[in-house]
Amino acid sequence: MSALQDLFAGTRAEGRAALVGYLPAGFPTVDRSAELLTGMIDAGCDLVEVGLPYSDPVLDGPVIQAASQTALSAGFRIRDIFTVVERVSAAGGKAVVMTYFNPVLAYGPDAFARDLAAAGGLGVITPDLIVDEAEDWLAAADTHGIDPIFLVAPSSSAERIHATAARTRGFLYAAAVMGVTGARDSVSEAAEGLVARCREQTDLPIGVGLGVRNGEQAATMTGFADAVIVGSAFTALAGEPGPDGLDAVRALAAELAAGVRSGARVGA
Q: What residue numbers bound the domain in which 192 lies?
A: 3-262
* Contact predicate 97/121, CB 8 Å: yes
Q: Looking at the domain assignment, is residue 268 inside a domain?
A: no
Is 192 labeled as catalytic in the residue annotation?
no
Cβ contacts of residue 10 below 8 Å, gap of 6+? Answer: none
Backbone angles phi and psi of 210, in degrees to 5:
85, 105
CA distance 109 to 8: 26
Q: Is 189 a catalytic residue?
A: no
Phi-psi category of 260—alpha, beta or left, where left has phi over 0 and alpha has psi -120 to 50?
alpha
Q: Where residue 94 sits, what CATH number does that domain have?
A: 3.20.20.70
The answer to the question of residue 256 being in a domain is yes
Domain total of the chain: 1
Residue of 49, 80, 86, 115 marked catalytic: 49
The answer to whether residue 245 is domain-embedded is: yes
pTM for this one? 0.92
What pLDDT, on a 0 to 100 scale, did the predictor assign at position 229? Answer: 94
The one catalytic residue among 60, 80, 192, 226: 60
Which mean pLDDT values do the consecutive 10-residue runs of the chain (268 residues) have?
92 94 96 96 97 83 90 96 98 97 96 98 96 96 97 93 97 75 56 93 92 86 92 90 86 95 64
Residue 267 domain-assigned (yes or no): no
Q: Which of 192, 244, 233 is nearest to 21 (CA)?
A: 233
Q: Tally the C-alpha atoms within 13 A of residue 109's C-alpha that lie toward its C-beta.
A: 19
